[in-house]
Structure 1
Amino acid sequence: MEVLELARWQFGITTVYHFLMVPLTIGLSVLVAGMQTAWVRTGDERYLKMTKFWGKLLLVNFAMGVVTGIVQEFQFGMNWSEYSRFVGDVFGAPLAMEGLVAFFVESTFLGLWIFGWGRLPKRVHLATVWAFSLATLASAYFILAANSWMQHPVGAEFVDGKPTMNSIWAVLTNNTALAAIPHTIAGAFAVAAAFLVGIAAWQLWRKRPSGDEHAPAWRSSLKLGAWVGVVSFVALLVTGDQQGKLMFEQQPMKMAAAEALCETEQPASFSILAIGDVADADCESVKTFTVPALLSFLAHNDFTTEVKGVRDLVGEYQARYGSTYPNDPMLGELAGKPIDYVPNLPVTYWGFRIMIGFGAVAAAIGVAALWLTRRGRIPRSPWFPRMALLGIALPFIANSAGWIFTEMGRQPFVVVPNPSGVDGVWMFTAQAVSNVSTGEVWTSLISLTAVYAALAVVEVFLLVKYVRGGVDAVLPPKKSPPGEGDSGDPDESGTDDALAFAY
């Protein structure tokens, strides 16, 4: 493999792995804050149990997310130094803001929340978990603003051969970012919702023969996850529609690739399923089942809009950005070679459908959970907890498929040209890679993949351990009656509480 391909594999592996933790942290942090709010307002012990249990799992996931996330930014200097040199004046600003939020605000208030049990007043302690969860959302905002600039560069001018920022406000309010942020946050809540539904359903079913004193906490967790999952899917449909319309304007090739649309159509049909080799750019062997004119509506809110196909778009891209790569030694074997403007069609086509399909099935499990828990019922059949446990994976896969589609669909660009933007503010992925050897990239690729695999084993082990332990594993030790080793000092319960929670 060439350095470019190896570098892309490494970034893809580490990013997809890291993003398994990110949406769960974002969604679960807000839900845990809501659980603690309910406990402070009502004094109901089931909300305290929910806060303790789900908070423990949140901490395990957050810790792993931090460890794996640090590598991401180092890769810009390791394998993508040419990219960093080119876009650093713009791209570095939102990344620096995210670093300040993530490593200062998040970590500070998370520490106060962990060790503040029994030490801080209830409402002050509650404020710390909300500060942490809101900082997590802010961190996601800055990261998405940086990524959206790569998808649709704004707020920059071309000076001395590279983009120079002229408006941080334009970067942070990029319409691509404003569409991506609510979509990503909705996806994060879908992940957290499936997590709640799967584990709570299993806990209710596991203790069904003897009964469980913690059943009210599990049932409330199940209903909360189900409602959040259904609402999140609706939000994903609305925000996804907005993203589709922006894609039609800003990245028409990505839209054509998502549909394996080889020929321009007016009106354009939406492909539900394709049979054949969608990688065939001539579409001679592909048969699709379509909904007439639906793609035109998704692109422009009417049923008559023309949507350009891959063939016509290739000609337009060649006329505007060239048909061959520059004769630059930095490009290696690609120097002077023809530019392939067509993304990987099987990945984009099926990735788009996996994202939608798996998200829909996860929402359907949420609907089933609401039906089975209506009027105080508790699901007793073994089929539902098994389905709910398997359903935990669905939104994780959907989120990953969505991001793979987003990133691979913009190839061969690492910075996609803005159709109405400044000339020169774009970059081919082949130009972004560092001047390193294949051996160096192989070494880091194998090393990081091995380390991440080990971390995956650790995280799964810890999550399974605490899930099996249930609520009892996260509550402080019960106080003994006076005269049996308990001093009776009420402050000690708070200390035990904090220590039990902080593990």
Structure 2
Amino acid sequence: MEVLELARWQFGITTVYHFLMVPLTIGLSILVAAMQTRWVRTGELRHLKMTKFWGKLLLVNFAMGVVTGIVQEFQFGMNWSAYSRFVGDVFGAPLAMEGLVAFFVESTFLGLWIFGWDRLPKKVHLACAWAFSLATMASAYFILAANSWMQHPVGVTFENGKPTMNSIWAVLTNNTALAAIPHTLAGAFSVAAAFLVGVAGWHLWRRGDHADVWRSSLRLGGWVGVAAFAVLAITGDTQGKLMFEQQPMKMASAEALCHTEQPASFSIIAIGDVAGSNCEDVKTFNVPALLSFLAHNDFKTEVKGVEDLITEYQAKYGTNYPDDPALGSLAGKPIDYVPNLPVTYWGFRMMIGFGAVSAGIGVLALWLTRRGRVPGSRWFPWLVLGGVATPFLGNSAGWIFTEMGRQPFVVVPNPTGVDGVWMFTAQAVSRLTTGEVWTSLIALTTVYAALGVVELYLMRKYVRGGVDAVMPPKKPDDSDKPGEDTLAFAY
């Protein structure tokens, strides 16, 4: 493999790995803050137990997320220095805001929350929990603003061969970002909800102690998961309409739509090689005119196919890469404007499918635990524990689709934006040797694998330990009500 391909693999592996931690941290931090709020308002011990248990798992996950996230920004200088020089004037601003504002607030108030249990007044300590939780959402906002600019560059002029920012407000209020933010946050809540349902459902099925904690946690996760899926559907529809306007090739590749259709049908599933040169060899099961509705809110809009879009892109952006030695074997070669169709087609369906399965498991868990029922079927713990993985897979599939669907661009041209503000991925990579990239790829993958083992070990340890692993031991004569030891531990 050449430097470009290796660099893309490295960034893909580290990004997908890191994003396994991010949504759980965002969603779980808000839910833990809500649990603590409920405890402060009611004084019920079960809410304190919930806060302590889920808060411990949150901290383990957050620590791993920080370690893996730091590598992400280093890669812009390591493997993508040409990209950094091209977009640095724009891309650096939201990333700096994320680091100096959001992450600073996260780390400060998280520290106060961890060490302030028996030192800060209740409401001050609770405020720290909310400050940390809201800062995680702010962090996501700035990161998504930076990523959305790559998908739809705005707020810039083109000077001296590179974009120069003339409006940070335009960058932060990019309509692509404003659609991506609620969609990503809903995905985060879906992950956290499935995590609650899976772990709490397993403990509830075991019929051990603290049944009130597990029942409350499971039902909270179930309702949050259902609500999150509804928001995902609504915001996903908004993103689809923006994709139709801003990245028509990505929409065509999501459907493996070879030829222009009016009205355009939505493909449920395809049988055959969607990347094959002969579209007629692929058998699809379609919903008539649905793609037109998803694209433009009506049932008659024309949706352009891959073949017609190739011609348009070649006319706008050229038929061949520049004859530049920095491009390696791609120098002077024809540009392939079509993303990897199997990845985009099936990634899009995996994103939707896993999200729907996660919500369905949440609904089933709510039904099986209604009116005080405790599920006794042997398949129940396997179902809810397996359901924990579904929103993680859906989130990962969605990001892979989003990023690979814009290839061969690392900065996608804005159809209504400034001419010249776009960049091919092949032009963005650093001038490195394959040996150098192989070294960093192997090293990072090995370290990440070791970190994964550590996280799984710690998560398993605290999940199996349950509430008793995070609460102080009770005296032999303690009742279920919080006594002096419990209150001293809390504050």
Query: Could you state the TM-score of these two structures normalised by the residue count of structure 1?
Result: 0.95
Cα distance in 2 for partners of 1:38, 1:480 equals 28
- Report the counterpart of residue 13 of structure 2 in structure 1: 13
Correspondences of 1:51-450 after superposition (within 5 Å): 51-206=51-206, 208=207, 211-212=208-209, 214-450=210-446
Match for 1:261: what amino acid?
A: L
Cα RMSD between the aligned structures? 1.4
Match for 1:53: what amino acid?
A: F
- Report the counterpart of residue 469 of structure 2 in structure 1: 473
- What is the DSSP-based 3-state SS (H/G/I as helix, E as strand, rest coil) of the residue aligned with 2:184? helix
Q: Is the 8 A contact 2:293 2:300 kept in 1?
A: yes
- Report the counterpart of residue 457 of structure 2 in structure 1: 461
- Higher mean alpha-carbon deviation, 383-392 vs 339-348, is at 383-392
Cα distance in 1 for partners of 2:116, 2:380 equals 38
Match for 2:29: what amino acid?
A: S
Match for 2:54: what amino acid?
A: W
Q: Is the 8 A contact 1:22 1:65 kept in 2?
A: yes
- Give the Å deviation of 1:479: 5.4
- What is the DSSP-based 3-state SS (H/G/I as helix, E as strand, rest coil) of the residue aligned with 2:280? coil
- Higher mean alpha-carbon deviation, 48-57 vs 471-480, is at 471-480
Query: Could you state the TM-score of these two structures normalised by the residue count of structure 2?
Result: 0.97
- Give the Å deviation of 1:493: 6.0
Cα distance in 2 for partners of 1:263, 1:467 equals 51
Cα distance in 2 for partners of 1:494, 1:370 equals 32
Query: How many pairs were matched up?
Result: 487
Match for 2:190: what amino acid?
A: A
Cα distance in 2 for partners of 1:218, 1:178 equals 36
Q: Is the 8 A contact 1:119 1:494 kept in 2?
A: no
- Give the Å deviation of 1:497: 5.2
Match for 2:462: what amino acid?
A: Y
Q: Is the 8 A contact 1:196 1:225 kept in 2?
A: yes
Match for 1:395: what amino acid?
A: P
Cα distance in 2 for partners of 1:403, 1:177 equals 14
Q: Is the 8 A contact 2:321 2:331 kept in 1?
A: yes
Once the two structures are superposed, residues 290-347 of structure 1 have per-residue CA deviations (whole angstroms, 9 ceiling, x without a partner) of 0000000000000000000000000000000000001111111111000000000000
- What is the DSSP-based 3-state SS (H/G/I as helix, E as strand, rest coil) of the residue aligned with 1:157? strand
- What is the DSSP-based 3-state SS (H/G/I as helix, E as strand, rest coil) of the residue aligned with 1:343? coil
Once the two structures are superposed, residues 86-140 of structure 1 have per-residue CA deviations (whole angstroms, 9 ceiling, x without a partner) of 0000000000001113431100000000000011010000000000000000000
Cα distance in 2 for partners of 1:142, 1:282 equals 42
Cα distance in 1 for partners of 2:68, 2:277 equals 37
Cα distance in 2 for partners of 1:413, 1:36 equals 45
Cα distance in 2 for partners of 1:431, 1:454 equals 33
Q: Is the 8 A contact 1:479 1:493 kept in 2?
A: no
Identity %: 82
Structure 1 regions of 5+ residues with no counterpart? 483-488, 499-503
CA 1:369/1:481 → structure 2, altered by over 3 Å: closer, same or farther?
A: closer
- Give the Å deviation of 1:370: 1.1
Q: Is the 8 A contact 2:27 2:185 kept in 1?
A: yes
Q: Is the 8 A contact 1:194 1:395 kept in 2?
A: yes
Match for 1:70: what amino acid?
A: I
- Report the counterpart of residue 31 of structure 1 in structure 2: 31
Cα distance in 2 for partners of 1:380, 1:345 equals 44
- Give the Å deviation of 1:480: 7.7
- What is the DSSP-based 3-state SS (H/G/I as helix, E as strand, rest coil) of the residue aligned with 1:30? helix
- Give the Å deviation of 1:494: 6.5
Structure 2 regions of 5+ residues with no counterpart? none
Q: Is the 8 A contact 1:117 1:495 kept in 2?
A: no
- Give the Å deviation of 1:150: 0.1
CA 1:442/1:494 → structure 2, altered by over 3 Å: closer, same or farther?
A: farther
Cα distance in 2 for partners of 1:495, 1:434 equals 56
Match for 2:222: what amino acid?
A: A
- Give the Å deviation of 1:496: 4.9
Cα distance in 2 for partners of 1:468, 1:343 equals 44
Cα distance in 1 for partners of 2:134, 2:106 equals 9
Q: Is the 8 A contact 2:20 2:392 kept in 1?
A: yes
Q: Is the 8 A contact 1:102 1:139 kept in 2?
A: yes
Once the two structures are superposed, residues 445-498 of structure 1 have per-residue CA deviations (whole angstroms, 9 ceiling, x without a partner) of 00000000000000000000000000000002335889xxxxxx96x8667558
Once the two structures are superposed, residues 264-287 of structure 1 have per-residue CA deviations (whole angstroms, 9 ceiling, x without a partner) of 000000000000000114313211
Match for 1:31: what amino acid?
A: L
Cα distance in 2 for partners of 1:56, 1:270 equals 44
Once the two structures are superposed, residues 41-88 of structure 1 have per-residue CA deviations (whole angstroms, 9 ceiling, x without a partner) of 000111100000000000000000000000000000000000000000
